[in-house]
């Protein structure tokens, strides 16, 4: 589908992401979304903004050719926009969050329950409005949330959370069960609400990368790259080639680190403690190499607008090549153990299944989508530099169960190790950063990056004198948390930790 076929008036946003932006009226907003839905397109993100004397609703929609950013101006007296959750199921929680933060109402929506507020501020106060005082204190009023009730003989509820053991962030899970069999799961998230989007408004565009990289710590590279991509697009700046290749190296190393950790924890949840021990060791060694060569275990603050903050010296190339060979051999050895372990295979196979049809209908993305047979990977579908030179082949599995998500992780580790080697071999010489000059007021940009969990979007609008007027950051967990509710249906309650870990979604990225 071409953008010209959808909208006569649009403009291309400069930058690495193939992105177009159009201002529309309410009828065109709805019609365009419907046409994209009919053609198999996806909703990437939905958010709002306070423009001073009026408001705007925004939607980012994925086309085969790129990203379409729709902006719908709204009346300040009646800030309503046509809802999209009947087309894109994942819009439901985004619309509810947009109301909690800005008071923008999705006209026609069936579900209008609050999502982020949790009684932490009054119902007539909206934290993302420009009139809001972030230092203002409120008395918390407990909020009665209307969970969907399941009735019938022998049905009872099991509430889990929001407080969990260890350092897990808060989230509430309400199970409706008969015996141990799960009939329904309903989630409630957003308990922390860190105020990140409001904080962006207090920063300069040249320093926002630090906050972006702290939205979800396990995806710091993906978020920082998406932010830098958006800032560079707004400034119409192209970073040096060496910087772009180093960013790809950092992104693949982030992908490997997270898959190593997850494979260990998934094995442990199925009773294989040695899997946790071995994968934890591999991940720890991988992170120590990051610290030795790039100054931070998780590569935080390595990507900056205009390039990268640290170069790879000559001696580091041999170190990384040796590590790739060693880790590949150990991962292949551990995969053989996982494949031959009858206990693991029994727990993994058929557990927490998401069919291809359900995944497509509800908008599943990232590694979980690829494990359900959907070949969605921005590195292959819409490759940005340097991925157009690397010809990424996504790892796909059709079964959509825990075993499929494990298989995809193993496959992605091995392919990312291969990518890391090819990036090192093709690394261009030259500068690794260039001077970043702030864009003019009103300039905009979008960064769209395939993180290890899935696609991450950062949409940015520049303010006066190098300030940030609005930044919206979107995590793939918005799309994927609702699928976890479906994956557990028909399974037993003790399998929930295993299914949950096989997705390993972000509480933090979902709760800005």
Supply the CATH number for residue 257's domain.
Answer: 1.10.645.10
Q: What pLDDT is attached to residue 32?
A: 95
Give residue 164's pLDDT.
Answer: 86
Beta carbons of 227 and 208 less than 8 angstroms apart = yes
Boundary of a domain, candidates 55, 77, 107: 107
Could you give the residue ranges of the DSSP H alpha helices within 48-112? 91-102
Continuous segment of H or E residues that includes residue 415? helix 402-426
In a domain, 311, yes or no: yes
Band of residue 3 on the pLDDT scale cut at 50, 70, 90: low
Q: Does any domain span residue 154?
A: no
Residues 390 and 470 in one domain: no
* Same-domain check for residues 448 and 307: no
Q: Is residue 423 part of a domain?
A: yes
Task: Kindly state whether residues 246 and 370 are assigned to the same domain.
Answer: yes
Is there a single domain that holds both residue 443 and residue 407?
no
The overall average pLDDT reported for the chain is 95
pLDDT at 347: 96
Taking only the tens place, the pLDDT of each residue in 310-367 is 999 999 999 999 999 999 999 999 999 999 999 999 999 999 999 999 999 999 999 9
Strands 19-23 and 67-74: parallel
> For residue 162, is it within any domain?
no
Which CATH number fits the domain that encloses residue 53? 3.30.460.80
User: CA neighbours within 13 Å on the CB side: how many for 405?
Assistant: 34
Residues 206 and 287 in one domain: no
Q: Which of 430, 464, 487 is the last residue of a domain?
A: 430
298, 267: one domain: yes
Clarify whether residues 245 and 331 are in a common domain: yes
CB atoms within 10 A of CB 200: 23
Q: Answer whether 237's CB lies under 8 Å from 24's CB.
A: no
Do 360 and 221 have their domain in common? no
252 and 352 inside one domain: yes
Flag whether 185 is in a domain. no
What is the reported pLDDT for 83? 97
Residues 254 and 377 in one domain: yes
Please say if the pLDDT value at position 2 is more than 80. no
Burial code (b: 16+ CB inside 10 Å, e: under 16) for 137-155 equals eeeeeeeeeebeebeeeee
Q: Is there a single domain that holds both residue 320 and residue 224?
A: no
Residue 97 has pLDDT above 70, yes or no: yes
The more confidently predicted of residues 44 and 137 is 44
Model confidence band, residue 226 (pLDDT cutoffs 50, 70, 90) = very high
Query: What residues pair up with 470 in beta bridges, in sequence order?
Result: 461
Q: How many domains does the chain have?
A: 3
* pLDDT tens sequence across 179-211: 999 999 999 999 988 999 999 999 999 999 999
Residue 18 domain boundaries: 3-107
Q: What is the pLDDT of residue 166?
A: 79
In this predicted structure, the answer to whether residue 5 has a pLDDT above a threshold of 80 is no
Decide if 120 is inside a domain: no
* Nearest CA-CA partner of 338 in 270, 413, 285: 270
In this prediction the pTM is 0.97
Does residue 393 fall inside a structural domain?
A: yes
Burial of 425 by CB count in 10 Å (0-12 exposed, 13-18 middle, 19+ buried)?
exposed
Instruction: Please indicate, yes or no, if residue 353 is contained in any of the structural domains.
Output: yes
DSSP code of residue 32: H
Residues 325, 414: one domain? yes
Q: Last residue of some domain: 107, 124, 150? A: 107
Asked whether residue 1 carries a pLDDT value surpassing 60, the answer given is no
The confidence score (pLDDT) of residue 6 equals: 74
Angle at 63 between CA 61 and CA 67, to 5 degrees: 55
Per cent of the chain over pLDDT 90 is 90
């Amino acid at each position: 589908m071409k953008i010209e076929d959808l909208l006569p008036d649009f403009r291309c946003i400069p930058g690495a992401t193939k992105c177009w932006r159009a201002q529309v009226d309410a009828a065109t907003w709805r019609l365009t979304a419907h046409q994209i839905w009919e053609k198999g397109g996806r909703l990437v993100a939905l958010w709002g903004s306070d423009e001073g004397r009026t408001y705007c609703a925004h939607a980012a929609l994925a086309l085969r050719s790129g990203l379409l950013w729709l902006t719908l101006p709204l009346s300040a007296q009646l800030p309503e926009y046509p809802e999209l959750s009947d087309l894109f199921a994942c819009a439901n929680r985004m619309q509810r969050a947009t109301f909690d933060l800005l008071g923008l109402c999705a006209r026609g929506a069936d579900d209008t329950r609050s999502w982020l507020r949790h009684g932490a501020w009054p119902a007539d106060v909206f934290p993302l409005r420009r009139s809001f005082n972030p230092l203002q204190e409120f008395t918390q009023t407990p909020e009665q949330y209307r969970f969907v009730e399941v009735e019938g003989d022998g049905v009872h509820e099991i509430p889990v959370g929001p407080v969990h053991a260890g350092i897990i962030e808060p989230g509430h899970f309400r199970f409706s069960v008969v015996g141990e069999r799960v009939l329904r799961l309903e989630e409630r998230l957003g308990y922390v609400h860190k105020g990140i989007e409001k904080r962006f408004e207090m920063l300069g565009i040249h320093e926002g990368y630090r906050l972006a990289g702290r939205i979800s710590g396990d995806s710091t590279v993906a978020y920082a790259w998406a932010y830098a991509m958006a800032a560079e697009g707004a400034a119409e700046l192209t970073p040096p080639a060496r910087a772009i290749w180093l960013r790809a190296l950092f992104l693949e190393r982030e992908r490997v680190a997270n898959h190593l950790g997850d494979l260990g924890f998934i094995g442990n949840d199925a009773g294989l403690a040695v899997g946790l021990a071995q994968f934890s060791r591999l991940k720890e060694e991988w992170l120590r190499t990051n610290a030795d060569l790039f100054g931070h275990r998780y590569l935080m603050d390595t990507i900056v607008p205009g390039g990268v903050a640290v170069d790879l010296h000559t001696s580091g190339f041999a170190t990384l090549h040796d590590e790739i060979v060693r880790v590949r051999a150990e991962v292949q050895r551990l995969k053989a153990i996982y494949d031959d372990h009858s206990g693991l295979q029994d727990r993994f196979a058929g557990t927490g299944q998401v069919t291809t049809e359900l995944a497509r209908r509800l908008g599943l993305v990232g590694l979980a989508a690829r494990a359900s047979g959907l070949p969605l990977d921005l590195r292959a579908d819409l490759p940005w530099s340097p991925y157009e030179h690397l010809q990424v082949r996504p790892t796909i599995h059709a079964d959509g169960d825990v075993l499929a998500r494990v298989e995809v992780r193993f496959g992605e580790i091995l392919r990312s190790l291969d990518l890391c080697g090819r990036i090192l071999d093709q690394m261009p010489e030259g500068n690794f950063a260039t001077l970043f000059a702030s864009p003019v007021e009103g300039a905009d940009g979008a960064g769209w990056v395939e993180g290890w969990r899935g696609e991450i979007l950062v949409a940015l609008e520049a303010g006066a004198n190098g300030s940030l007027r609005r930044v919206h950051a979107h995590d793939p967990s918005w799309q994927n948390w609702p699928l976890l509710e479906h994956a557990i249906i028909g399974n037993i309650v003790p399998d929930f930790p295993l299914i949950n870990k096989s997705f390993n979604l972000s509480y933090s990225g979902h709760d800005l």
